[in-house]
Structure 1
Amino acid sequence: MENDILDSLEDLGYDGSLLDPAALSEAVSQGPASTEFTKLVSWLTDRLKDFCGLEETIHATHSPDDAANFVMELSGCLRELNCPYTSLYEGGPVTERLKTKESAVQLLDYLTSELQTAHILAVKKPQELRSTTSPDNQSIANESDIAKHLKIMLIALGFPKPPANINSFQLFSRVETKVNELMSKNPGVISKPLLKARLSDKQWEQIMKINDSLVREYTTRREMILKRLDVTIQSFMWSEAAKKRENEITAVYQPVRKLLKASCDLSVADILSAREDLTYVHKTSSGDARVRCAINKVKIPKVPDRGGRVWEQEPPPPEMPSFQKRVDQPQGQRPQSGRGGRGGRGGRSDRGGKVQGGWGDQQQGQSYGGNWNQSGGGYGGGGGRGRDHYQQDGGHQGGGYQGGYNDGGHRGGGRGRGGRPGSGRGRGRGNY
């Protein structure tokens, strides 16, 4: 709630000390005992009086002892405004009203919302307001403001109080003569004016219209930029972690935000006071002319050319080898075959057959050999039989048998010379 009140006060043009969140929190805690709080309430009711024609006037206090009088004046003002919060001005002793922080915050929220509503009605439906600020009164206020600045100028130039029968032309003629005299004595203090021509009334009227159009344009732009800034800050407070630190963020942001104003204070008087030094423009696009840029304080030496240009690079090697025509295998080739070997002659030992390309078991007279053909001898002679992937040797009759993967291999004959009974040796040879 306090942050909303701060935003409303900034929108209403309040520039007092209570724009500080800590000061506002302390003031609402003290209530009518705080002189700053009473000054803020008096400022709000004075603005409402201009729009709504209030009869009651609230005076700020100078000490906590005046709190009771302040509450009584405030009660009459709230009754005149038909305030819906009756607890602020009715019931109980006067000294007990606005004692709590919640009631003080409620009062400020009501007054700021009423003043904002009055501003809106003054623009859209001014006939619904009982304003005491008529056009005549407004012109008197403007004249008094002009008179105040004229008084400051005449005192600075050393003029005595002008007589009552002097007109504006005579007064400004004397002022111009005095200013030219002072400038001739001190030529280096102020440069020559930028606008040297004398303009007619019609030209001045046209300049006023152009200035009003530019002021509205740039005020709209500044309002848009400031609104984007406010929305950006609010978007950072959406997270749960930021919501817990909302007061800390506001304490950092509000002092900076209140310095940024959407209104433009330029007027025709600024055109008249413009001097020739405004025509001195410093270039910012050149490295030698950027005198205010921090990057110019660092001199970067010449760096080598590291390449990287596409047209200077070699093309990459191909990702796949070149395609070649497939070479066909020769047709009509038959598998080779061999013939059997001859038998061996007998011997005295009962050893097994000789195995070519495999392994043999000499004790059993039997051999196996991979995918090759073997022959061997056994008891009294050698005979071989081959089938599929191995060949088993054994028999009583000498002879050779060729075999391999092909079951129907060629049969080879073999001869053997007998020896003693129970002994013999055979030898065979075969091809895959």
Structure 2
Amino acid sequence: MTAEPAMLRSVLQALGYEGSLMKDVEVDKLISGGASCQEFTTLCCWLVSELKLLCSLEEDVSLTSGPEDADTFQLEMSGVLSELHCPYISLTSGDVTSRLTNSKNCLLLLVFLSSELQAARLLSSRLTPAPEQSEAAEELALISQALNMPESTLGSPMSQLLEEIRSKVSDTLSTLPESEAVMSPLLRIPLDPHQWEQLLQIQWALHSEYECRMRMLVTRFHVTLQSFHWSERSKDREAEMLQAYTPLRHALTVQSRVSLAHLLAMREDSSRIVKTSSGISLENTSCSLNKVLMGSVPDRGGRPNEIEPPMPMWEKRREWGSDSRRKRWSKHGRKKNR
């Protein structure tokens, strides 16, 4: 799978598509079928339906049941592209029933629809006010339920609810034995709004750095797997390799799940650096594998001080080098004397 189809699969995964493409269908095979491929038309219909939820589209495309519906699908898609003002001439001109018959146009169509959906969701998120208060209220309600607080407090003002939660948590912590006492928080100093804004900027910078590094690792992982397909023996086992690779690839996410809430939840012991080989760490991490002793292994050498004399002298190489050097100097010397 080339770079563009691989990138398209990542974009579709980020958009939330969960069709057959994300499981066991190669993008190259999907776009090569074009309008005659039911998986391809299903994906296009999903993208258009998601766009209709965000945009006031009048045109629509219908699911196909086989290659016999390819012409109808292309006619309907032509209307959608016209309404979206598609800038690609190859998708909007020429014979309508032959536009989605080659891989290049099919890939271009998926990229265009995916880009439109990304832009529509971005604009929708900017126009719709972020429900920060409602989300905060829901989180506070969950905290209250976890602390077994009476339901009457759930309808209280947020400031009063926060104070009641703080009091309940303090009372609960005071009843814990010393062995289970919770350490002091790592962040003790209250921050002003400007400092919180700076902290958010640092968080986003770290998120961007993490995402960049993770994308690089995922790309390296994908390229390494592609190299396995170069051998002749792997061609017969391509399906097995894809089946083993797909779950691993889907488990790799480039987005970091660390938020400011994790920072507030950090305790003093989180800043202590303990060696993994220390006795305290081994008490919690030791297992039966640590007691397995390796048998005799071949000696790989690599110790010059243990090489037995005599050392190789490379006499022939030195003689050849001196003869060639003598001839070269004598040749240059004759030219200089002339």
Normalising by structure 2, we get a TM-score of 0.57
SS of 1:261's equivalent?
A: coil
Aligned partners of 1:108 and 1:186: how far apart in 2?
A: 61
Change beyond 3 A, Cα 1:275–1:176: farther
Q: Does 1:211 align with 2:203?
A: yes
* Letter of the 1:263 counterpart: Q
SS of 1:143's equivalent?
A: coil
SS of 1:258's equivalent?
A: helix
Deviations 1:239-281 (A, max 9, x none): 2332443333222112111111122232323322334563465
Change beyond 3 A, Cα 1:190–1:118: farther
Q: Does 1:20 align with 2:13?
A: no
Name 1:109's counterpart in structure 2.
107
Deviations 1:111-139 (A, max 9, x none): 4321465699x7xxxxxxxx6955xx534
SS of 1:245's equivalent?
A: helix
Deviations 1:303-349 (A, max 9, x none): 9xxxx9x9x99x989xxxxxxxxxxxxxxxxxxxxxxxxxxxxxxxx
* Letter of the 1:10 counterpart: S
Tell me the CA shift for residue 226 of structure 1: 1.6
Residues 18-417 of structure 1: matches in 2 within 5 Å? 18=20, 19-21=22-24, 40-45=43-48, 55-56=57-58, 74=77, 76-81=79-84, 82=86, 84=90, 109-115=107-113, 134=123, 137-141=124-128, 143-144=130-131, 146-147=132-133, 149-156=135-142, 157=144, 158=151, 160=154, 171=158, 173-187=159-173, 191=182, 192-276=184-268, 278-279=270-271, 283-286=275-278, 289-290=281-282, 291-292=284-285, 297-298=290-291
Tell me the CA shift for residue 143 of structure 1: 0.9
Deviations 1:357-392 (A, max 9, x none): xxxxxxxxxxxxxxxxxxxxxxxxxxxxxxxxxxxx
How many residues align? The count is 274
Aligned partners of 2:24 and 2:4: how far apart in 1?
A: 11
Aligned partners of 1:32 and 1:152: how far apart in 2?
A: 47
Change beyond 3 A, Cα 1:281–1:45: farther
SS of 2:253's equivalent?
A: coil
Query: If you compute each CA radius of gyration, which structure gives the higher value, 1 or 2?
Result: 1
Name 2:11's counterpart in structure 1.
11
1:57–1:73 contact (8 Å) kept in structure 2: yes
1:46–1:57 contact (8 Å) kept in structure 2: no
Aligned partners of 1:252 and 1:59: how far apart in 2?
A: 34
Aligned partners of 2:169 and 2:42: how far apart in 1?
A: 44
Change beyond 3 A, Cα 1:183–1:221: same
* Letter of the 1:177 counterpart: E
Change beyond 3 A, Cα 1:279–1:133: closer
Q: Which runs of 5 or more structure 2 residues have no equivalent in the other structure? A: 145-150, 311-338
Deviations 1:146-176 (A, max 9, x none): 35523532442355567xxxxxxx63x2342
Change beyond 3 A, Cα 1:184–1:6: same
Aligned partners of 1:237 and 1:37: how far apart in 2?
A: 25
1:183–1:190 contact (8 Å) kept in structure 2: no
Tell me the CA shift for residue 9 of structure 1: 2.6
1:20–1:254 contact (8 Å) kept in structure 2: yes
SS of 1:186's equivalent?
A: helix
Change beyond 3 A, Cα 1:2–1:49: farther
Tell me the CA shift for residue 85 of structure 1: 5.2
Name 1:413's counterpart in structure 2.
none
- Of structures 1 and 2, the one with the larger relative CO (CA 8 A, separation 6+) is 2
Change beyond 3 A, Cα 1:40–1:116: closer
Change beyond 3 A, Cα 1:190–1:181: farther
Aligned partners of 2:47 and 2:108: how far apart in 1?
A: 10
1:194–1:274 contact (8 Å) kept in structure 2: yes
Q: Where do 4+ consecutive residues of structure 1 move more than 6 Å? A: 1-4, 23-26, 31-34, 36-39, 102-108
1:41–1:108 contact (8 Å) kept in structure 2: no
Identity %: 26
Q: Determine which structure has the larger helix proportion and give its number.
A: 2
Aligned partners of 1:190 and 1:9: how far apart in 2?
A: 48
* Letter of the 1:44 counterpart: L
Tell me the CA shift for residue 107 of structure 1: 8.6
* Letter of the 1:292 counterpart: T
Aligned partners of 2:92 and 2:187: how far apart in 1?
A: 61
Tell me the CA shift for residue 294 of structure 1: 5.2
Tell me the CA shift for residue 184 of structure 1: 3.2
2:47–2:113 contact (8 Å) kept in structure 1: yes
